[in-house]
Amino acid sequence: MLINHNLLTFSIKKSVFICLILVFVFNCKSNQNENALLMVSNQMIKQEEAWNKGDLEGFMDCYWKSDSLRFIGKSGLNTGWQNTLDNYKKSYQNKQEMGTLKFTNKSLDFVGEQTIFVVGEWKLSREDSLGDLGGMYSLIWEKKNGVWVITTDHSS
């Protein structure tokens, strides 16, 4: 059996080139994913900082400014950005009631190209007379118009 060496050499070079392209593409995708997870983590740090300054509007900056925002808490499902902000204002009427917030993310995972699912723990440290609060959260972050925002918050 005769093998055309030029054809074989071309096929090997072509295969190596394709493999290199695939490695590059997957590496770029991996870096994009890592950057997105870092972006979400940093946004949550900014949320803590805003909360700890008593700035509820700043805390809400990470939420999707839409009537379709979903917040699930002890009172059930509430929808809408403004409704969520209003509920926070009713529950935490001053800096003393807000205390000091600390998030501890347990997992951040992509569930689609434009969707990140975050599970974690929250804790509010407050004066003894008010008592500390805490619980768990699950957040759905989606990329909307090039920006990562919380579209669903389930906090208990």
What's 70's domain CATH number?
Answer: 3.10.450.50
Question: What is the pTM (predicted TM-score) of this model?
Answer: 0.80
Domain containing residue 122: 5-155
Confidence of residue 20 (pLDDT cuts 50, 70, 90): very low
Q: What is the mean pLDDT of residues 119-126?
A: 98
Are 96 and 127 within 8 A, CB to CB? yes
Cβ count within 10 A of residue 29: 11
How do residues 7-16 score in pLDDT, each as one tens digit?
556 566 665 5
Task: Tell me how far apart the alpha carbons of residues 21 and 85 are, in angstroms, rounded to a whole number.
Answer: 47
How do residues 53-104 score in pLDDT, each as one tens digit?
999 999 999 999 999 999 999 989 999 999 999 999 999 999 999 999 999 9
What's the number of domains the chain is made of?
1
Are 59 and 81 within 8 A, CB to CB? no
